[in-house]
């Protein structure tokens, strides 16, 4: 025993650390649920569900449980469901932002005939379909009360109740289905009941706050594009739905395509019955005509039942969850929901069904920055609160938006007397959405215009070398560009001097065909005609001056090159009109150097000025020369088809005889005289024009330079085909 105590004492620090880690894991850790469970109790704390979790028997979720549903995450209940949160310790079922999970599915018949669905004090937020009672489900009773359905993103339903599998009129049992005291706000879908009037389900939908929901559909207002809808058939006669003391306000049909508000959308009904009782609800207005606009019934469709909504409540019941049901101007005149707010308001009066707490309110004002772009300015409004019972006056103390662009006010984080959530209030939002749509259309048309201006391909992502060269799907002819080149050619070789621009400058003309291979790669071929000439007399090198040689040659060259274009050549945008490129290529040049002797021009190659023709082992040099070059171009795109630019290319020849002066020893005059050369005088002269002492010297001394030339100038190019 002493030994054990000794061990505990010795390792007490380690034991405490382990205990603390376990406690922290328990407190802050999150539990991932997956697979099938016969029974399941989800306790208070964080839980994650990324897949289908099926509970065959009873599912208990305790107050304080926070369950995050991610993507395919869904809870399937095949038995009883007991979700009992507490007023100040709610259960939260929520979807992960941008990876929203589904929700809870109630399905199948439970073997335990007394099992029920009890959902209280639960927040359903950011889900695709928070509650779905699948076809053929059956439980003893359903109670959905005191819950919050907030900002659920799914466009199918918030709550969707399909029919249970009863045989017609044979089974006398029924389901009490209660939806009471819930808040539905900021959702994108409706509450759907397959058969509101039924022999097997007795619906009671009462004291709910259904405000600020957007039901997505198309421009045509119909039954299903209402925040609450279902069928009322003469086929059933047992239970008429009890839908009363609910508060409907600011619920709209939103067009799926344009994201603009189309219509008020509170209640829709269809079926063979003549009427449905929809009395004693607050329907967003005290104006009967306006209320009628928010209901889809016989008024719009002769085959649908008539909705009996009179008498309606002029204000929502205080027993409903707290909410703002009407927005007025400071003078208590009604603020139209379609108001266009360009001039900032001086204040608002909010009418609510209970008194509200504005101490933590975030009062925002969002407006567009200019006339047509999507740029917005989010501001926080400074204001004074003057409560007066259930009316609250908010006086704005500082006005912004001096440019008077369209905007809207958003009032969030209002809390009810018990600290509960109160739906957000928006003023001017309908006009804001309309203007947003207009701006999106402008942005899209600009984008389309840019696409048209490009070569029908999007620019490649520039973050990878692999993606530098994108394939082009354009037809061959549209990849061709034809150009006319002009400029100057300067020889740089044996008969030249180091200062480039002190050499002779001759006219250069060329015709170019460019073919776009990839997004940033093109090939081109140039046929060029130009002249090269120079004289040692221009040189500032004495040795060259003493040599006294000169030449002139006409060049006809064909060059092919491959070019890297710094700007994607599929695009034509005003922002990228200047397009540089660099390239390398090969030349084939025909040349024929000549010189003037006593006023007569002689071709130098046939004279064998380097002694090529005085020795039978030698032969005259070829007048075709291969070469290579580097080029650089800056193109200015005038429009989609035409461009002009500057070009420069540096050429090196593989022949040393462009200027006729190669690495040959000065030939003997006697040997020239005795050779078969026709114009011996010229040959003697050109072989050594200054008759200098040449013993042991090479004609290309002193510089021994390799021949080449530089072309530069301007060009005009044009795409001939779209």
Chain positions contacting another protein, by CB under 8 A: 486-489, 504-508, 533, 535-537, 542-543, 545-546, 548, 596-599, 636, 638, 644, 669, 673, 680-681, 684-685, 687-693, 713-714, 716
Task: Write the CB contacts of 340 (distance below 8 Å, at least 6 apart in sequence).
Answer: 406, 428, 431
From residue 331, give the alpha-carbon distance in Å to each of 95, 326, 345, 543, 630. Answer: 42, 14, 12, 102, 78
387 or 606, CB closer to another protein? 606
Provide the minimum distance between the beta carbon of 684 and another protein in the complex, in angstroms, as a whole number.
5
Minimum distance from residue 673 beta carbon to another protein (Å): 7
Question: Residue 667 to residues 670, 687, 691: CA-CA distances in angstroms?
Answer: 9, 7, 11
Integer Cα distance of 270 and 276 in angstroms: 10
Q: Which is nearer to another protein, 173 or 691 (CB)?
A: 691
Closest contact distance (angstroms) between CB of 542 and another protein is 4
**CB of 716 vs another protein, minimal distance in Å:** 7
SS3 378: strand
Pairing mode of beta strands 383-388, 391-396: antiparallel
Based on CB atoms, which residue is closest to another protein, 157 or 688? 688
Which residues share a beta bridge with 601? Answer: 596
Q: Which is nearer to another protein, 514 or 688 (CB)?
A: 688
Q: Give the H/E segment covering residue 597.
A: strand 578-597
If residue 55 lies in a helix (H) or strand (E), which one and from where to where?
strand 45-55
Please, which residue, 135 or 636, has the CB nearer to another protein? 636
Residue 185 or 544 with smaller CB distance to another protein: 544
Least distance from another protein to the Cβ atom of residue 485, Å = 11
Q: What angle do CA 140, 143, 144 make, to 5 degrees?
A: 145
Decide whether 442 or 644 has the Cβ nearer to another protein.
Answer: 644
Minimum distance of another protein from residue 681's CB (angstroms): 4
Concatenate the DSSP letters of all residues of 382-413 into one string.
-EEEEEETTEEEEEE-S---TT---EEEEEE-
Output the CA–CA distances (angstroms, integers) from residue 205 to 200, 270, 281, 297, 299, in the order listed.
Answer: 16, 18, 11, 19, 23
DSSP per residue over 12-47, as a string?
HHHHHHHHHHHHHHHHH-EEEEEEEESSEEEPSEEE
* Angstrom distance (rounded) from CA 555 to CA 588: 10
Q: Compare residues 177 and 485 and give the one whose CB is closer to another protein.
A: 485
User: Cβ 647 to another protein, closest distance in Å?
Assistant: 11
| Residue 609, helix vs strand vs coil | coil
CA neighbor of 615 nearest in space, from 682, 681, 667, 659: 667
Q: Is the CB of residue 485 less than 8 Å from the CB of residue 511?
A: yes
Q: Which is nearer to another protein, 7 or 537 (CB)?
A: 537
Q: Which is nearer to another protein, 349 or 549 (CB)?
A: 549
| Nearer residue to another protein within complex by CB, 537 or 624 | 537
State the burial class of residue 35 (Cβ atoms within 10 Å of its Cβ: 0-12, 13-18, 19+): exposed
**Nearest approach, Cβ of 671 to another protein (angstroms)?**
11
Calpha distance 345→328 (Å, rounded):
11
Q: Minimum Å distance from CB 545 to another protein?
A: 4
Tokens of 488: 């100057």
- Take residue 500 and report the two structure tokens written for it: 């480039």
Q: How far is the CB of 599 from another protein (least distance, A)?
A: 5
Instruction: Please give the Cα distance from 518 to 294 (Å, whole number).
Output: 57
Report in angstroms how near the CB of residue 510 gets to another protein at its nearest. 12
Cα torsion through 180, 183, 187, 189, rounded to 10? 10
Alpha carbon distance 72, 50 (integer Å)? 6
Q: Tell me how far, at minimum, the Cβ of 129 lies from another protein, in Å.
A: 58
Q: Which is nearer to another protein, 236 or 602 (CB)?
A: 602
Q: How far is the CB of 539 from another protein (least distance, A)?
A: 9
Joined together, the tokens standing for residue 122 give: 């639960």
Q: Which is nearer to another protein, 41 or 691 (CB)?
A: 691
Shortest separation between residue 591's beta carbon and another protein, angstroms: 18
CB 194 within 8 A of CB 163: yes
Q: Which is nearer to another protein, 34 or 537 (CB)?
A: 537
Residues 694, 695, 699: CA angle, nearest 5 degrees: 45
618, 553, 542, 627: which is closest to 591 by C-alpha? 553
Cβ 718 to another protein shortest distance, Å: 13
226 vs 539, beta carbon nearer another protein: 539
Of 538, 529, 524, 424, nearest to 481 (Cα)? 524
413: left (phi over 0), alpha (psi -120 to 50) or beta: left
**Least separation in angstroms between CB 551 and another protein:** 11
Closest CA to 161 of 212, 87, 228: 228
Nearer to another protein, 292 or 592 (CB): 592
Nearer to another protein, 317 or 503 (CB): 503
CB of 379 to another protein, least distance (A): 40
DSSP states of 457-517: SPPPPTT-GGGSS-B--S-GGGGEEEEEEEEEEEEESSS--SSGGGS-EEEEEEEEEEEEE
Shortest spacing between CB 690 and another protein, in angstroms: 4
User: Pick from 47, 54, 140, 154: which is nearest to 104 by CA?
Assistant: 54
Closer to another protein at the Cβ: 198 or 533? Answer: 533
Contact 488, 711 (CB under 8 A): yes
């Amino acid at each position: 025993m002493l030994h054990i105590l000794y061990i505990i004492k010795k390792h007490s620090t380690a034991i405490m650390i382990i205990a603390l880690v376990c406690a922290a894991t328990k407190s802050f850790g999150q539990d991932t649920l997956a697979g099938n469970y016969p029974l399941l109790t989800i306790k208070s704390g964080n839980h994650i569900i990324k897949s289908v979790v099926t509970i065959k028997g009873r599912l208990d979720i305790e107050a304080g449980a926070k369950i995050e549903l991610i993507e395919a995450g869904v809870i399937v209940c095949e038995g009883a469901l007991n979700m009992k949160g507490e007023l100040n310790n709610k259960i939260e079922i929520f979807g992960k932002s941008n990876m929203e999970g589904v929700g809870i599915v109630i399905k199948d018949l439970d073997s335990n005939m007394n099992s029920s669905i009890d959902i209280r004090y639960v927040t359903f937020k950011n889900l695709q379909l928070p509650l779905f009672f699948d076809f053929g489900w059956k439980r003893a009773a359903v109670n959905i009360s005191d819950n919050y359905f907030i900002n659920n993103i799914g466009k199918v339903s918030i709550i969707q109740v399909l029919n249970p599998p009863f045989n017609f009129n044979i089974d006398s049992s029924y389901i009490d289905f209660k939806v009471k005291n819930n808040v539905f706000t900021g959702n994108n879908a409706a509450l759907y009941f397959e058969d509101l009037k039924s022999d097997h389900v007795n619906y009671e939908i009462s004291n709910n706050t259904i405000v600020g929901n957007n039901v997505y559909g198309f421009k045509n207002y119909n039954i299903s594009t209402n925040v609450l809808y279902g069928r009322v058939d003469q086929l059933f006669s047992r239970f008429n739905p009890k839908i009363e003391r609910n508060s409907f306000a600011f619920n709209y049909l939103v067009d799926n395509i344009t994201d603009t508000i189309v219509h008020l959308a509170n209640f829709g009904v269809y079926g063979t019955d003549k009427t449905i009782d929809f009395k004693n609800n607050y329907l967003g207005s005290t104006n009967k005509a306006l209320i009628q606009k928010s209901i889809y019934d016989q008024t719009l469709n002769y085959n649908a039942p008539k909705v009996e909504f009179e008498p309606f409540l002029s204000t929502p019941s205080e027993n409903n969850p707290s909410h703002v049901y009407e927005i007025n101007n400071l003078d208590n005149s009604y603020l139209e929901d379609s108001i266009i707010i360009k001039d900032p308001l001086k204040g608002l009066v909010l009418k609510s069904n209970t008194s509200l707490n504005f101490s933590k309110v975030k009062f925002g004002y969002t407006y567009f920055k200019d006339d047509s772009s999507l740029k917005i300015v989010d501001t926080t409004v400074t204001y004074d609160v003057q409560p007066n019972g259930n009316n609250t006056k908010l006086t704005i103390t500082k006005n912004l938006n001096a440019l008077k662009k369209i905007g809207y006010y958003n009032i969030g984080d209002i809390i009810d007397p018990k600290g509960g959530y109160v739906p957000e209030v928006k003023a001017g939002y309908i006009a804001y959405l309309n203007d947003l749509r207009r701006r999106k259309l402008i942005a899209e048309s600009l984008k389309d215009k840019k696409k048209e201006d490009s070569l029908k391909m999007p620019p490649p992502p520039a973050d990878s070398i692999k993606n530098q060269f994108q394939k082009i799907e354009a037809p061959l002819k549209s990849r061709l560009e034809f150009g006319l080149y002009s400029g100057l050619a300067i020889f740089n070789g044996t008969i030249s001097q180091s200062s480039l621009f002190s050499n002779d400058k001759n006219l250069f003309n060329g015709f170019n065909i460019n073919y776009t291979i990839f997004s940033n790669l093109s090939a081109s071929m140039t046929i060029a005609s130009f002249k090269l000439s120079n004289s040692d007399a221009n040189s500032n090198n004495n040795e060259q001056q003493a040599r006294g040689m000169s030449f002139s040659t006409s060049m006809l060259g064909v060059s092919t090159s491959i070019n890297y274009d710094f700007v994607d050549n599929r695009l034509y945008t005003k922002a990228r009109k200047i397009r540089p490129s660099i390239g390398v290529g090969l030349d084939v040049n025909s040349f024929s150097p000549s010189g003037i002797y006593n006023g007569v021009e002689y071709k130098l190659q046939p004279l064998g000025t380097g002694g090529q023709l005085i020795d039978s082992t030698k032969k005259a040099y070829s007048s075709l020369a291969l070469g290579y070059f580097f080029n650089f171009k800056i193109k200015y795109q005038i429009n989609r088809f035409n461009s002009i630019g500057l070009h420069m290319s540096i050429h090196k020849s593989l022949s040393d005889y462009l200027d006729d002066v190669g690495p040959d020893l000065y030939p003997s005059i006697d040997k020239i005289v005795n050779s078969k050369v026709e114009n011996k005088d010229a040959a003697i002269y050109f072989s050594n024009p200054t008759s200098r002492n040449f013993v042991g010297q090479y004609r290309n001394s002193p510089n021994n330079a390799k021949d080449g030339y530089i072309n530069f100038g301007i060009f005009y190019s044009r795409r001939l085909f779209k």
